[in-house]
Amino acid sequence: MSLYEFKCEIPPAEAGAIDELLLNHGDGRWSVVEDVIVQQAWVIGVFEDEAESWHAWEALKGLGVNVKGSPALRPLADQDWRDSYKAHFKAWKFGRLHWVPIWQRDQFAVPAGDAVLWLDPGLAFGTGNHETTRLCVERLVGLAPRLARDARIVDAGCGSGILALSAVLLGFTSVIGFDNDPEAVRVSRENAALNGLQPGPDFFVADLVSGLRERQADLLMANIQSDVLIRFQRELIAAVAPRGTLVLSGILAHEQADVLQAFRAAAPGWAIEGRVLGEWSDVMLSRPAALS
């Protein structure tokens, strides 16, 4: 049975706010897709028939979503839906690391001395074309020279596995990743195999409670969303080893102050800072060797 894809371009500067609006709207058939490299964004919905598509679109317009141009509606076969994400994943780099779609493997030339992570994210989150992932990857690359190769790296909410796999490419030997979505864990394992990282990171299904229980990470990365980060701040903080670092992302820029305030209160004595990239931001905490 064919589905129908309803797609309309939106101002990229408003993508984060529209994403939050859709989350509050509660209709999981809609999503926001961004390409920060070409500075474009779209709101996309998938529906079972044309009438349902237009009805949902009218409801969405009633929320005040700002769109650019006219929407496009097209029949979408099941395989088309599974592969539609490919149009929004572009190769990119930071430092000496490259993140490249696996379907570009035959055309992409890796510069001498650089490393590449071939990715097929499937329907899992994490290509690096989104600001939240880029913020985490840049933190990882920046911190890498200060960490021992056997440092314990944890990717909480691993999505496509991009953060954990990037850590392995940087030479780290003790890396794990977990997600509460079994599909994300499956995709992460497939991406490890695509890159010949066997044995690679230990990927498994878990939530923030079970995944972090009795763990001490030298670098813990959590690219989730601000309300979840705040709700599980105790678990996240407890899982950071002395002298360790906690990197939080998935935070809208206007929510950063709330996250900073919550974690500053929950982790007194820790160094804390944040950055903003477009509509999104991160927060980084550094645990001291000992607290007085």
- Consult the annotation and say whether 129 binds a ligand: no
12 vs 249: CA distance, rounded Å: 19
Determine the Cα–Cα distance for residues 97 and 111; give it in Å rounded to an integer. 10
Contact of 159 with 126, CB cutoff 8 Å: yes
Burial 257-288 (b: 16+ CB within 10 A, else e): eebbebbeeebeebebebeebbbbbbbbbebe
195 is in an annotated binding site: no
Which residue is it, tokens 């690359």? 141
Pairwise CA distance, residues 124 & 229, whole Å: 19
First to last CA, the chain: 64
The helix-helix angle for 162-169 and 131-143 (nearest 10°) equals 30
Is 250 annotated to bind a ligand? Reply is no
Annotated binding-site residue? 179? yes
CA 145 distance to own-chain centroid: 23
Binding residues for S-adenosyl-L-methionine: 133, 157, 179, 223
Binding residues: 133, 157, 179, 223
